Amino acid sequence: MVRTQRTTVSTTGQGDVHDVTRAAAAAVAESNLRAGIVTVFVVGSTAAITTLEFESGIVSDLGRALDLLAPRHAEYQHHLRWHDDNGSSHVRAALIGPSVTVPFADGQLLLGTWQQIALVELDTRGRRRDVVMQVIGE
């Protein structure tokens, strides 16, 4: 059986990170499935979903690492083509990816003690992000 739920997250712009673990856990619980997987997916090409220990130090460290890999104020061909400023956003999103898949058993996500599911805003301005959670199981 497959169940799909959506939630919306409002962000403030590049570097804003939101814990969406509770939304994923709620999607699993509301599915009434006992075991399977849940995929958490963000709609759009300038945001990402990952797992991390959701605390301010790691959020800051992730931002610093992304600044090294895809600096916001570097020259991007995307800027030249579209005359905007979010080339770094697209590159960062491609590096992290739009989704994670988490197994669950007995109706509970099988995450580590310090592991949460996070939406990472990578665009240069705030957005309303649609997050899709698709639960597959029995």
Q: What is the average pLDDT across 57-86?
A: 93
Domain boundaries of the chain, sorted by first residue: 2-137
* DSSP one-letter string for the chain: -EEEEEEEEE--STT-EEE-HHHHHHHHHHHT-SSEEEEEEE-SSSEEEEEE--SHHHHHHHHHHHHHHS-TTS--HHHHHH--S-HHHHHHHHHH-SEEEEEEETTEE---TT-EEEEEE-SSS--EEEEEEEEEE-
Residue 79 has pLDDT above 90, yes or no: no
Q: Provide mean pLDDT across the span 45-68.
A: 98
pLDDT value for 82: 87
Amino acid 29: pLDDT: 98
Pick one of 2.30.130.10, 1.10.3080.10, 1.10.1270.20, 2.60.120.460 as the CATH number of 2-137: 2.60.120.460
pTM comes to: 0.95
